[in-house]
A and B are shown apart, each in its own frame.
Chain A
Amino acid sequence: MSLRNTVRAFPTLLRVGFADAVAYRAEMLIWVLATTMPLVMLALWSTVAREAPVGRYGEAQFTAYFLATFVVRQITGSWVFYDINFAVRDGTLAMRLLRPVHPLWAYAAEALAAMPMRLAVSLPVAIVAWFVVGSRAMTHDPVLWAVWIASIAGAWLMTLLVNLIIGCAAFFLESSLKVMDAWLVAFFVFSGYLIPIDLFPPRLRAVVEWLPFRFQIGFPVEVVTGAHDRAAALALLGSQWAWVATGLGATALMWRGGLRRFAAYGG
């Protein structure tokens, strides 16, 4: 499993992953349609904002915030934990272990290869958002847009790593689907997916800012809607990538510890 092998195989893995994403495009469309939560929250919050703005949010700001939330979630979403759970349970992970590429790299390639499809579905929403509220509620600073791109990469990596860590938990628990359920609940509430972080009560907000969830959705959305100046955005980007580094370490540990317990059934 040398690095050279991985680098050589990566373009092929990406091509295979892309073909896979294209083959299941109808399913993917349904998954996109099922991402209604930001839109429901948008309806709720704009009703609230029509009477009077909430904090710094008027109707336009909420529209920008939740359309951006939709886009960020579409781009960074990942369900790799599901595949790993399956591969561990039915033993097919053994086949992945036989290949000369590390399974985690292969999973990462599959996730990355779905990106063009994900971008294709989020682009229309992004364009609509830009034309409807772009002039009023989105940043025009090129530096902040650059930070945004870096933050999207960070958020994508964090989501992937969480998926890998929880996927590896299946080595210890037989099935870690319930663990993901619990994680998702916390994620929905504390990531800024349902409520912008700056609307939380101050004490709760202080806690949420120390948790990783916010860097998966809230942070990129805040950057693109102009909630932070350059210095603050860069500082937060630093914290985000510190979480990415932590996630990398945790993934390596989980994988090594878990693999020792892996007994390939059937196969």
Chain B
Amino acid sequence: MEGEPLSSPAARAWGASRAARASRYARLLKTQLRASVLLGLQYRADFVLDAAVSIFWTGAAILPLVIVFQSRAAVAGWTFGEALMVTGWFTFLEGVLEGGINPSIADVVDHVRKGTLDFVLLKPADAQFLVSTTRFEPWRAANVLTSGVIFGWAFHLLGRVPSPGAVGTATLAMLAGVAVLYSLKTLAVSAAFYFVRVDNLTHLFDSVFDAARWPASIFRGVVRFVFTFVIPLALMTTYPAQALLGALPTTTLLGAIAGAALALALSRVVWNRAIAHYTSAGG
């Protein structure tokens, strides 16, 4: 930071312990969040429209599920209530994506195209952290609330409540899922440094992600392999659903967490390489 004495809190934090650094980033996150919320309060009409469309879409997208299960009690080992759980997690992740991940991704693409990423890179904080936290749009995350309704409906159909242990495991599995989702999006945006226009790429990702609406076991062969290991849709929605049902093997959970850590590390490496490749534009 220009003109700041070396003894200032921010400057000292650079050399200070890990804990001090973490607290500095926590404060930074709080500031960024507050700025996002203030910005978002300007567009309240948009919120209502967005929320209406996404609730409508979530409801409509459940219709195939209802029709599939009209003719039989279970498909590929999933009953209606259980499959609904997967849809619930899908809806939840859609909310996270819309409200927490996509807006900042769109910003990075803009920055790269206009060359304004320079201003982010100049700031005395980690660039990936900064770009991932500049824009949260919590009001676009209506789907997170909708997913609560779906979970309620599913457990009502199953006639039981989840055990605290299951909720804990499901939370862990969900965090792994969010981490993978974030990593994949970071990989996609890293492509922006090489190709400039990636809106098509993100569109492609969204349409593949849509398959996560269904339990992974309905897919077979190559598609199943891809959806488990390459674009791990199973990890994002099926595992958390199994966890909520108390049916996720511990080894699978550990595998999911390891996979998520690996994905985060990989996206970090690729992001750093992409940044190194960045040459600014015009400016």
A: which residues have CB within 8 A of B? 27, 30-31, 33-37, 40-41, 43-45, 47-48, 51-52, 54-55, 178, 181-182, 185-186, 188-189, 194-195, 199-201
Contacts and interface: CB of A to CB of B under 8 A. Distances in A.
Given A44-B214, A181-B53, A185-B57, A30 B67 contact: no
A178 B56 CA distance: 13
B44 interface: no
Given A30-B203, A194-B64, A36 B211 contact: yes
B204 A43 contact: no
B227 to A, nearest CB: 10
Interface string B67-110: 11011100110000000000000000000000000000000000
For chain B, the bracket of interface size reads 20 to 34
B200 A43 contact: no
B225 to A, nearest CB: 13
A40 B214 contact: yes
Given A52-B72, A178-B53, 17 more contacts: A27-B200, A34-B204, A34-B207, A37-B210, A41-B64, A47-B75, A47-B76, A47-B218, A48-B72, A51-B75, A54-B71, A178-B49, A178-B50, A185-B57, A189-B60, A195-B67, A200-B67
A186 B76 CA distance: 28
Contacts of A30: 200-201, 203-204
Given A47-B76, A48-B72, A195-B67, A36 B210 contact: yes
6 contacts: A30-B201, A40-B211, A47-B75, A47-B220, A189-B60, A189-B61
B63 interface: yes
B208 interface: yes
B202 to A, nearest CB: 10
Contact of B60 (A37, A55, A186): A186
Interface string B219-263: 110010000000000000000000000000000000000000000
